[in-house]
Structure 1
Amino acid sequence: MDLSPYLVEAADESTLPITPLGASQLNDWLAGQPSFVAAWVQSSGFTGKSGSHALVPGSDGPLARVLVGVDDIEDPWAFAGLPTALPRRRYRLDGDYDRRAAERAALGWLLGCYAFERYRKRDSAPASLVRPPAADRARVLRLAQATALTRDLINTPASDLGPEALGEAVRAEGKRYGGKTATIQGEQLLKRNYPAIHAVGRAAAQEPRLVDLRWNNGDGPQLTIVGKGVTFDTGGLDLKSSAGMKLMKKDMGGAAHALALAKLVMDAELPVSLRLLIPAVENSVSADAFRPQDVIQTRKGKTVEIGNTDAEGRLVLADALAEAERDAPELLIDFATLTGAARVALGPDVPVLFSNDDGLADRLARAAASERDPLWRLPLHEDYRSWLDSKVADLVNVPDNSFGGAITAALFLREFVPANTAWAHYDLMAWNQSAKPGRPQGGEAMALRATFAAVQSWLAEREG
């Protein structure tokens, strides 16, 4: 979805001010207003409660101002409920804002304008905001459009977003910024040594593939991003229940995040050599499906005994992470909707972060706090590594016990991470279970803004 029409450069004759007020500020503001305004606001029941708003008429009757309850002016969601709640017209923020507050307000406004409209158009368009003077429009739109891309991809069902269409989405973004995309698919995966990707996806009607986007801007460091692209996950022969399968169109949410982060890097023209790797498969059931207790090969040479065919995401990521070693990246980041255990640990809204580098993890945590984009680190607890031992292969893809599932999945992935590479792994939900202002039910970008800010910080430190 294109959100740019909802952040405009100029006011018009119909533009109205929006005045943010906390509950503690309301009485002082009312004291400076005409008596009819104070009477109107008080009779409307507006108290300055966060997220509430009031429409205030002028002396001649027509709407003259909007009041909105805001406790924290830097909260990116403070204004997110207004675009669809207010009459359709242009609005401007009343008062002076520094860059951070202005851009948070504009970003929240744009994300409040988002709707997934591929199959059904909304009844009316949202209202528009005049760009606050301190806000960099390009920077705000960059974050908003990357979030919209993530949401659109996750919300699209597998009938229209299989491995082929996911690959085309990567190709389209690469072309937009002058990148080059290559695809290895079907039997070529075996010939070129990506056996785990092939094993997981071979049962589906659409061939499995590895989508590989490269983009370079100067002689900067190598940044490689990997995203789990399971466009639908039945669980394979270890078939999910109908309830467990219901949201599995979102199992490519890691790929959506990875592509969105790559888009942010390219759009901002960061000085890096960028590589994006998306193993795109559908985990289906057919006569050719891989089976429990099969032993599959991987690109790295390690063999894996299959304990459960529903733990397929870590298998396709294993080959992609091993491929990343070819470029000796300084920074390697992967995103995946990998385990229910991560959701049990932290709930649906907080992505789990694993990292083999304390400095990188600290940088991501600081960015998450600064950007109001939460994440939480869990440990790569070494004592659990033995749970991945197999009697017939180098590894099992799942332990026999159900403890620490997010940790054991991350430990499995670590087996395929290039040596001496700073690595961050996200295990995330990528889905809003219920709607909040600016965050409709459905696909969601999680830790995306934080990760992009951390990448920018990393580059600035290297250059500085």
Structure 2
Amino acid sequence: MSQTNQIAQAFQVPFIDVTNDDAIFEGEGWDAVVVVAPRLADIKQDEINLLAAHASQIDLRVGKSATLLLAPGLAGGRLIISPVVGADDAYNDVRIFAKAAREGIAIAKAAGASKPLLVVPSLSDSRFKNAQQVAALACGQELWQPLEAREAKSLAPSFSAIGLLNSDTHSLLINAAESGRVLARDLCGTEPERMSAIGFAQYCVNAFTGSGLTVSVVDELEQLKHDYPLLSAVGRSSFGVERHHPRVVKLEYVGEGTITKTLLFAGKGVVYDTGGADIKVAGSMAGMSRDKGGAAAVAGLMKALSILKPKGIKVVAELGLVRNSIGSDAFVTDEIIQSHAGVRVRIGNTDAEGRLVLADLLSHLRSQAEHEVNPQLFSVATLTGHVVRAYGGYTALVENCVAKQKGIAVALADVGEQWGEPFEVSRLRPEDFDKVADKNGAADVVSSNNGPSSITARGHQYPAAFLLKASGLAQSELAFTHIYIAGSAVEGDPLYGKPTANPLVALLQFGFL
């Protein structure tokens, strides 16, 4: 195993299914019990229920805020009650369990536990049918540390394992999903020299060694220029700096048995976005190493698939990795560049670079999809700040008419609601295609206007119209959905907050439908 693989995998805390209630007691190998429940009465284990009820009589915080109790006889003598707040509010969803789990596991870590047991009682409310899995995944999000810190400080995981009480083989899914999320967080959250296009590609190659996936990297500049002309335009000014050269990573998973569905993903991997010649100003360049979150999430999805190995589906991915550099050879506004699909694209703003990268990737995937079984195409990207203005921290979906007829966005949104990664569904309108029409006819399509997307009307809808036109998908009968993650790719600080790997879990579950 490579050193990179060791660093990534060694930091993942394994989840273990526990089916015996006796695990809550001292001597069973666990050293803390973390209970995540809306009410103390929901706790099924009498020993926990009685202790918590007694404690609530002398400490009014018990059952109202996350609390550590001295619990002789229970695992490690530690009982942490982390209440789920707002379960009776019809507008809340399963994410309230994630919030409570993070609070509880943080206390277990601070208390010195090394092998906690997570207890999430089953509830009849259909909103919370995946509460235990969502809570467990939230623990993984809470415990992840940046790759730079792990390498510099030789950090070890906080826990040797987390037990899932009364879990019915949930750990297989959770461990696979978390393995993918660790990879995605590493790729998205690491600084732009450590995770340059070359570094990103190599990290993927290392991560997929022995996985059974087909992996290849396009690294020759002349091939990139020929096969990915829009992507190469974005990276043109980086060609003079060898360590900044672009890459395209291709991944393919083929499940056993008869293939009934093919999913094809394009991931935006702009490893650093300066804005190019339309340079980002007033401090807005900070955090632009996170502009590779789409490619990171897709890579993580493929990692999870390689572990779960679902039957009957095929998944293909192309990750476009490029640095939008500034320099004398940078591409500029007003240039007309022919895409891989043969569409003449007028550059409206060099800071609208992600859609150029995706258009070429989607053109390649379109050509392949035409020969696949039940194909569905997706692109995943931190494409535009307008989606944050429109929906805050939520992921948005914009689909073409074929995907809309198939109900793909609605189905994906339903899955996301159940797994704590909710979506907002937007619609393409005729005005979106009008906005990307080149007004004097010199080009077939214009990439963008020249103003900030966040103050542009329909600023996150019309880029999907551009993708359809520039990739050749507008002339096909293929279902296509663009997934906007600008607001959901990181949590907390929008510049340097912890990457979330959204919407990896929802896409993973969607693939099983």
Q: Displacement, 1:31? A: 12
Partner of 2:63: 48
Partner of 1:126: 158
Please say if residues 15 and 174 of structure 2, whose CA atoms lie closer than 8 Å, have aligned partners that are also in contact.
no
Q: 1:156 aligns with which of 148, 170, 190?
A: 190
Partner of 1:207: 245
Please say if residues 301 and 504 of structure 2, whose CA atoms lie closer than 8 Å, have aligned partners that are also in contact.
yes
Partner Cα separation in structure 2 for residue 31 and residue 195 of structure 1: 62
SS at match of 2:103: coil
Query: Is 1:181 aligned to residue 215 of structure 2?
Result: yes
SS at match of 1:78: helix
Which amino acid letter does the alignment assign opposite residue 449 of structure 1?
A: V
SS at match of 2:432: helix
Partner Cα separation in structure 2 for residue 210 and residue 57 of structure 1: 54
Q: 1:32 to 1:200 in 2, by over 3 A?
A: closer
Q: 1:318 to 1:56 in 2, by over 3 A?
A: same
Partner of 1:105: 135
How big is each residue's C-alpha offset from its partner over 1:36-75, in whole Å with a ceiling of 9 and x where there is no partner? x7665444441422x5223234399x83533221245953
Partner Cα separation in structure 2 for residue 223 and residue 376 of structure 1: 21
Name which of structure 1's ranges 300-309 and 176-185 shifts more when overlaid on structure 2: 176-185
Q: 1:306 aligns with which of 344, 347, 371?
A: 347
Which amino acid letter does the alignment assign opposite residue 366 of structure 1?
A: D
Partner Cα separation in structure 1 for residue 158 and residue 245 of structure 2: 40
Partner Cα separation in structure 1 for residue 426 and residue 255 of structure 2: 33
Q: 1:417 to 1:264 in 2, by over 3 A?
A: farther
Which amino acid letter does the alignment assign opposite residue 92 of structure 1?
A: L
SS at match of 1:160: coil
Q: 1:369 to 1:116 in 2, by over 3 A?
A: same
Please say if residues 12 and 182 of structure 2, whose CA atoms lie closer than 8 Å, have aligned partners that are also in contact.
no
Partner Cα separation in structure 2 for residue 44 and residue 213 of structure 1: 54
Partner of 1:336: 381
Aligned length, in residue pairs? 449
Q: 2:460 aligns with which of 406, 410, 421?
A: 406
Please, what is the CA RMSD of the aligned residues? 3.1
Name which of structure 1's ranges 383-392 and 372-381 shifts more when overlaid on structure 2: 383-392
Could you state the TM-score of these two structures normalised by the residue count of structure 1? 0.87
Q: How does 1:271-350 map to 2 (within 5 A)?
A: 271-327=312-368, 328=370, 329=372, 330-347=375-392, 349-350=393-394
Q: Displacement, 1:387? A: 1.5
Which amino acid letter does the alignment assign opposite residue 232 of structure 2?
A: H
**Structure 2 residues without counterparts, runs of 5 or longer:** 1-7, 88-92, 124-128
Query: Is 1:395 aligned to residue 439 of structure 2?
Result: no
Q: Displacement, 1:451? A: 1.8
Partner Cα separation in structure 2 for residue 181 and residue 39 of structure 1: 57
**Structure 1 residues without counterparts, runs of 5 or longer:** 458-464
Q: 1:443 aligns with which of 487, 499, 504?
A: 499
Partner Cα separation in structure 2 for residue 139 and residue 150 of structure 1: 16
Partner of 1:92: 117
Q: Displacement, 1:370? A: 1.4
Could you state the TM-score of these two structures normalised by the residue count of structure 2? 0.79
Partner of 2:100: 78
SS at match of 1:354: strand
Which amino acid letter does the alignment assign opposite residue 310 of structure 1?
A: D
Q: Displacement, 1:124? A: 8.0
Partner Cα separation in structure 2 for residue 295 and residue 174 of structure 1: 38
Please say if residues 23 and 47 of structure 1, whose CA atoms lie closer than 8 Å, have aligned partners that are also in contact.
no
How big is each residue's C-alpha offset from its partner over 1:260-309, in whole Å with a ceiling of 9 and x where there is no partner? 12222222212333321111110001111101111111101111111111
Please say if residues 120 and 131 of structure 2, whose CA atoms lie closer than 8 Å, have aligned partners that are also in contact.
no
Partner Cα separation in structure 2 for residue 32 and residue 233 of structure 1: 53
Partner Cα separation in structure 2 for residue 31 and residue 189 of structure 1: 63
